[in-house]
Amino acid sequence: MRHYIITGGAGFIGSNLIRTLFKKEPGVKITCIDNFDPFYSADIKQFNIHDFKNNPSFRLVEADLAKTTDASLAGLVPEKVDAIVHLAAKAGVRPSIENPLSYQQANVIGLQNMLDFAKLKGIKQFVFASSSSVYGINDHYPWKEEEKLMPISPYAMTKLAGEMLGHVYHKLFDIRFIALRFFTVYGPGQRPDLAIHKFTKNIVAGKPIAMFGNGSTCRDYTYVEDTVQGIIASIHYEKTDFEIINLGNHYTISLKELIEGIEKVTGKKAIINQQPDQPGDVPKTYADIAKAKTLLGYDPKTQIHEGLQKFYDWFMQHEEMLVK
């Protein structure tokens, strides 16, 4: 029986990953570590895990990884562990500018403690959630993993620091470290602070949405099932011992096009409150995913119109809980 630790497992990507692992890997055991950070409602996170929370192969450990030592973690999880997927992080570019120290603590110290735990326990497979934000402003599209990195927010800097911290532990302690640079993940369960969720919620309710800039900023939106596919492949990847890999969709759309797409699936017109560009935001993200295809067999299938429809269907099904 394989045993995985998923940190941040009650969050958006983590809960989708756990649900998929239980479907695709019969007999797997999963320990979810989450601190239910008040960045958004703990009720939403509890809802994320409600359909497998009572599964006897699932265990929830509530812990703040920035404040939990490797020895303490070993006491909380005494069993053998086959792989760690470290998704836990303080999220958000704009809030990181207001409180950078908290991002250092959660995203760098928290990772440090998990790597020390992996070292202590002899866990050889470590998958880390990095971010496309590490590229900063770079017009060499699509972005390859070898690009020069110039992050422009504290959040992005913590993710770059995480990649390098993983390289250190790979070299010193023989831990296979796979850093996955996520590109704007969306879909059922998406965090309420992210654009697609916020826009859908407000458009459905007939409330204004904030559009930063003139709507020309572009993102490589990646459907969560495709991202999860890449994570699972990384859990089982053994060909090399350190890799940084983009997980995107290799397809960009503008903010204006995104809003039009949400209008189409909701059948309602957006009331737009135009705002100035925000510090820390980049004009465009666009992933080269050739490396992910070669190493992981990664093959994203979901285009934006299909993904928006799936998100909208999920949102309407759970609207009462989501709009509280």
Q: List phi, psi (to 5°) of 210.
A: -85, 120
- Average the pLDDT over 63-81 and give the result: 97
131, β-bridge pairs = 182
Tens-digit pLDDT profile for residues 189-246 = 999 989 999 999 999 999 999 998 889 999 999 999 999 999 999 999 999 999 999 9
Which DSSP category does 273 fall into? E
N-term to C-term CA, the chain: 40
What element of type H or E holds 116? helix 110-121
Please check the confidence at residue 278 and state whether its pLDDT lies above 90: no
Active site residue 155: yes
Over its C-alpha atoms, the chain yields an Rg (Å, rounded) of 19
Q: Classify 158 as helix, strand or coil.
A: helix
Give CA–CA dist 224/254, Å, rounded: 19
pLDDT band of 319, cuts 50, 70, 90: confident
CB 235 within 8 A of CB 296: no
User: Which residue's entry shows tokens 């957006």?
Assistant: 270
The fraction of the chain above a pLDDT of 70, given in percent, is 100
Residue 5 is predicted with a pLDDT of 98
Please check the confidence at residue 324 and state whether its pLDDT lies above 80: no
Residue 277 is predicted with a pLDDT of 84
Give CA–CA dist 14/67, Å, rounded: 21
- 108-111: long-range contacts, CB 8 A cutoff, minimum separation 24: 108/158, 108/161, 108/162, 108/165, 109/65, 109/66, 110/7, 110/64, 110/65, 110/66, 111/65, 111/86, 111/162, 111/165, 111/166
CB 12 within 8 A of CB 41: no
Tens-digit pLDDT profile for residues 175-194 = 999 999 999 999 999 999 89
Secondary structure (DSSP) of 40-57: S-HHHHHHHTTTTTT-TT
Give CA–CA dist 131/110, Å, rounded: 16
Please check the confidence at residue 279 and state whether its pLDDT lies above 90: no
Which DSSP category does 194 fall into? S
Domains assigned to the chain: 3-322 (3.40.50.720)
User: Which residue's entry shows tokens 């059948």?
Assistant: 267
Note if the pTM is more than 0.85.
yes
Cα–Cα separations (whole angstroms), residue 166 to 33, 156, 238, 313:
19, 16, 16, 38
Spot the catalytic one: 103, 135, 155, 237.
Answer: 155
CB 183 within 8 A of CB 248: yes
Residue 228 is predicted with a pLDDT of 98
Tens-digit pLDDT profile for residues 143-158 = 999 999 999 999 999 9
- Average the pLDDT over 124-138 and give the result: 96
Residue 199 is predicted with a pLDDT of 97
Mean pLDDT for the chain? 95
Strand 253-254 and strand 218-219: the pairing is: antiparallel
pLDDT band of 281, cuts 50, 70, 90: confident
- Average the pLDDT over 109-123 and give the result: 98
